[in-house]
Structure 1
Amino acid sequence: MQTLRHLIGERWEESTGADIVTVVDPATEEAFAHFAAASPADVGRAVTAAADAQPRWAALTVTERVGHIDAWAETITAHAAELAELECREMGKPVGVGRTFIDGATAGLRAAAAQALTYPFTETMTGPGGERTDIVRHPLGVTAVITPWNFPVPMVLGALGPLLAAGNTVVVKPSERSPVSTVRLFELAESAGLPAGVLNLVLGEGRTGAALTEHEDVQLVHFTGSVAAGRSVGGATGRRLRRCVLELGGKDPVVVDAGVDPVATAQAVAFGAFINTGQICTSMERIYVHERIADEFVEALVAAARTFTLGDGTEPATVLGPLVDERQRDTVRRHVEDAVHKGATVRTGGAVPERPGYFYPATVLTDVDDTMLVMTEETFGPVAPVVVVPSFEEGLARAADSRYGLAATVYTHDPAHITAAAHLPAGVVWVNQWQGGGPERLYEPARDSGMGATGAHAAYDAATRPTSIHHAPAPAATR
């Protein structure tokens, strides 16, 4: 049984709290790590360590800070396989899938940090009569990052590049369900020579997160998680008049037009619905397909779903690992049972297998409607509900009819339909390629899916505070 500790300044420390949290391997249901949740006093010491380190970190040149981040990224790359194995053990993600996302996130960390080299931390504007205004963007100070359990390493790396490169220090609280890989990630930061106090780590559940978001010295909270928890974070930061960036739940739609290849598109949709066992905020959770190709599409989607082999993520043949825990599997099962009770048809999957572990098969549902939980609430599991629509326009309208607005995907060859899709209320709209785009991508979730623009220069805007210094010509000397 591994005992996890907090990183506060330069020391790995035991918690002063008494609440013990256990980490369970979802493939075997066996506990393999535990930790004492950080108390408010522990959180306070972590914030103080970050505050003490921040002036020295900000005093480095941008090039020096980016160099430290690059050194850490190089170390992460060398240990990516180890980190993927830890993610597999703590939340079930197949090792190959985890390695792919960790490699992508590490490249993203480098790219996001490199953007600091061209970001306008200082701008000068001139006016009439010799007037000049300098706009200087200062780091905020201590920032907090609270990450979910579905992508432990990538979610940390995705948030940290701009925060660190801009001169902030950070306190991270990972999900209590998958903290092991994050602990190792921070050990690698130490070995890469990142200065003590720049990165701090506290482990815990909701009360630890609340102590962090409510701390008076935390200037920004970057939170990824549920809508309910996001509302709490937003309320806490609002009361303190501090910033937050929230990426919350999704119920992402897919609209499949009549003119596309139904088989190839179904295979792409299966990947978007089932990869990481559907535990992605931007998983394809509502599928609207044109009636002209619906039969072929559904047949191909069912065939593709059956190729997602259940198993322990350490086994090379495994495509679909377990859900993170029994609570998450119960949510998935409840959504499917609700749909069936209300008239949905299970085309494949739809039942908990008789085996150890929190497994659930890739499931395709048809004959679904908007009274069903599987069409209105975030399922976060390997379930693909399909609605047949008479036109692309109706599919688009139904895709927009949701309280969520994280991302959406459209498959079409029609230029007019592509133009129409751009108006979907979502932070990202992908056309003919799910998860497309690079480090220059800018987005802000819509509706209940969050707030705060991020990506590229927007991430640096959020991580800094602008000050304008206006210079007027000195008064002429008098005799």
Structure 2
Amino acid sequence: MKTLRNLIGGDWTNARGEAFHEVVDPATEEVVARCPSGSAQDVRLAVDAAVRAQPAWADLPVAERVEFLSRWADTVAAHAGELAELECREMGKPVALGTAFIAGAAQSLKIAAAEALGYAFEETVAGPGDGSTTIVRGPVGPAAVIVPWNFPIPMTLGALGPLLAAGNTVVLKPSERSPLSAVRLMELMDLPDGVVNLVLGDARAGAPLAADERIGLVHFTGSVEAGRRVGAETGGRLRRSILELGGKDPVIVDAGVDPVATAAAVAFGAFANSGQICTSMERVYVHQDVAEAFVDALAEAAGGYTLGDGHDAGTVLGPLVDRRQRDIVVRHVTDAVERGATVRAGGVVPEGRGFFYPATVLTGVDDSMLVMTEETFGPLAPVVVVSSFEEGLERASGTRFGLAATVYTHDPAHIAAARRIPAGVVWVNQWQGGGPERLYEPAGDSGMGATGARASYDAATRPTSIHVA
């Protein structure tokens, strides 16, 4: 069994902490690696290396930094299948799905890095009187990047591109549940020593990393509870944080849409990656005019999401990441059923090894149930029938979360009204539409800090105005 190590200053280093935990394949429940649980000493050494590497990396011409990242993106793309195999082993994602997301993330890394070539790191602005004023934007780093277990490679690349292209060095901490792919990603990296450092562990690494006085920005993706702690820590130090936290994303299905085609789209939005996506469709509000046909088609589509080990080509739905996550799903379904909901598909834990749960459709739910108020992060589609688009809009907006939302409609007035949903991203007629050029910021308890394209560079740099009389 492999014991994983940290990457500090270009050297693979044994962890200083004495605590370790086992990484378990969620499909087989077999132990696949031994991972450090983290320590303040490991974090301090990693930040030391990032501090040392910062000046030389920042002094490189922007085009050279972009070229480094572009080559790394090409390498990642060439190894997308291998990285997807590791993601499957550590958190269960089907390899075909993982390969597609990683290949897309590699391309997005190239696009995000190239954004630096047109970004105004230095500009002269006009002003009254004599003299000139130049605004110079320099890196805020070193930066900390703390990523979740559900999309370890795409989330890492998405955060690193603008930070590195802007001249920051980084300490990366992946989730303790999915360290295998992060280790391999670092092995494939060809950047100067110390530019990206890897420290493994759970909160025993994450907490001291967020608290280190030398970290100028913490880019955190994870739960609301952990995000609040990160925000409090960085706020107390008067440092920046970008927080992308939980979601309970709604989807509104309007009258006049094709109920069968829309049901297939909603099934993918609710069940892909076993519902373990921050922007999964977790609340479905369907207009009464199409509700019966839509629910029938959604239940039928759920039956097509075949459970199995993600290494098998026929698998559409892999396991949940671990028993703890499956227990949350079971608790939400049980709560709904006990309070009057009806299971139209799925809803039963399968026998055998692995943390599997079937694609599940619930009807007769209301907005007081756990499945409608708390993030489930599982393959559930709870459906509420509404009498009008306005009712759907109101109920979709009635949440403390605000990560994303999806609306299916052909009515121009309803398309215009969709922007009233308080969310960082609103998709109309295509879930996950758009590309790397979009700007967004979560609303409510789903986080804070605008990212995407130039917003990511604004967050990764600090402006200084220099006036010469």
Q: TM class, shorter-chain normalised?
A: over 0.9
| Residue identity matched to 2:131 | E
CA offsets 1:23-73 (integer angstroms, 9 cap, x no match): 000000010101222211110010010000010001100000000001111
CA distance in 2: counterparts of 1:129 and 1:315, whole angstroms: 71
Deviations 1:410-445 (A, max 9, x none): 000111101111111000000000000011100000
* Structure-1 residue corresponding to 2:9: 9
SS at match of 1:176: coil
1:319 matched residue in structure 2: 316
Letter in 1 for 2:291: A
Question: Structure 2: which amino acid aligns with 1:429?
Answer: V
The residue number in structure 1 matching 2:421 is 424
CA–CA separation in structure 2 for the residues paired with 1:78 and 1:397: 46
Structure 2 CA distance for aligned equivalents of residues 461 and 128 of structure 1: 26
Give 2:203's match in structure 1, choosing from 193, 202, 206: 206
Instruction: Give the letter aligned to residue 38 of structure 2.
Output: A
The Cα offsets for residues 78-126 of structure 1, whole Å up to 9 and x where unpaired, read as 1111000000000000000000100111111110000000000011112
2:42·2:205 contact (CA, 8 Å) conserved in 1?
no
Matching of residues 255-270 of structure 1 within 5 Å: 255-270=252-267
The answer to whether structure 1 residue 142 and structure 2 residue 142 are counterparts is yes
In structure 2, distance between residues paired with 1:175 and 1:129: 54
Where does residue 371 of structure 1 map in the other structure?
368
Quick one: which amino acid aligns to residue 461 of structure 2? T
| Residue of structure 2 equivalent to 1:476 | none
Q: TM-score, normalised by structure 1?
A: 0.97
3-state SS of paired residue (2:28): coil
Q: Which of the numbers 279, 284, 287 marks the counterpart of 1:282?
A: 279
Q: Is the 8 A contact 2:319 2:356 kept in 1?
A: yes
The gaps in structure 2 that reach 5 residues or longer are none
Per-residue deviation, 1:21: 1.3
Name the structure 2 match of 1:25. 25
Match of 1:178 in 2: 178
- Taking the TM superposition and a 5 Å limit, the aligned residue runs for 1:30-429 are 30-189=30-189, 193-429=190-426
Cα distance in 1 for partners of 2:237, 2:188 equals: 34
User: Aligned partners of 1:371, 1:59: CA distance in 2, in Å?
Assistant: 55
In 2, Cα distance between equivalents of 1:129 and 1:340: 72
| SS state at 2:119 partner | coil
Q: Distance in 2 between matches of 1:444 and 1:29?
A: 37
8 Å Cα contact 2:38-2:203 kept in structure 1: no
One-letter code aligned to 1:130: D
Whichever of the two has the greater Rg, that structure is 1
Q: How much does 1:3 deviate?
A: 1.0
- Alpha-carbon distance between aligned partners in 2 of 1:129 and 1:149, rounded to the nearest angstrom: 55
The CA deviation at 1:129 is 3.6
Give distance in 1, aligned partners of 2:73 and 2:249: 31
Q: Which amino acid in 2 is paired with 1:70?
A: S
Q: Please give the secondary structure, in 1, of the residue aligned with 2:466.
A: strand
Provide the rounded CA distance (Å) in 1 between the counterparts of 2:125 and 2:394.
45
Partner amino acid, structure 2, of 1:61: P
Residues 397 and 422 in structure 2, CA contact (< 8 A), matched pair in contact too: yes
* Structure-2 separation of matches of 1:25 and 1:127: 61
The aligned amino acid for 2:245 is: L
Distance 1:92 1:233 in 2: 28
- What do you get for the CA RMSD once the two structures are aligned? 0.6
Residue identity opposite 1:456 in structure 2: A
TM-superposition CA deviations, 1:269-324 (whole Å, max 9, x none):
00000000000000000000000000000000011100000000000000000000
- One-letter code aligned to 1:356: R
Unaligned runs of 5+ in 1: 473-479
In structure 1, C-alpha distance between the alignment counterparts of 2:138 and 2:421, rounded to whole Å:
35
Q: TM-score, normalised by structure 2?
A: 0.99
1:450 to 447, 451, 455: 447
- Distance (whole Å) between structure 2 residues aligned to residue 137 and residue 467 of structure 1: 6
Q: Provide the C-alpha distance between the structure 2 equivalents of 1:247 and 1:376, rounded to a whole number of angstroms.
A: 18
Does 2:464 correspond to 1:463? Answer: no
Q: Does the 8 Å contact 2:35/2:176 carry over to 1?
A: no
Structure-2 separation of matches of 1:15 and 1:467:
39
Q: Matched residue of 1:321: which SS?
A: coil
Q: What letter matches 1:439 in structure 2?
A: P
Amino acid at match of 2:72: W
Give the deviation of 1:2 after TM superposition. 1.3
The structure 1 segments of at least 4 consecutive aligned residues displaced by more than 3 Å after TM superposition are none
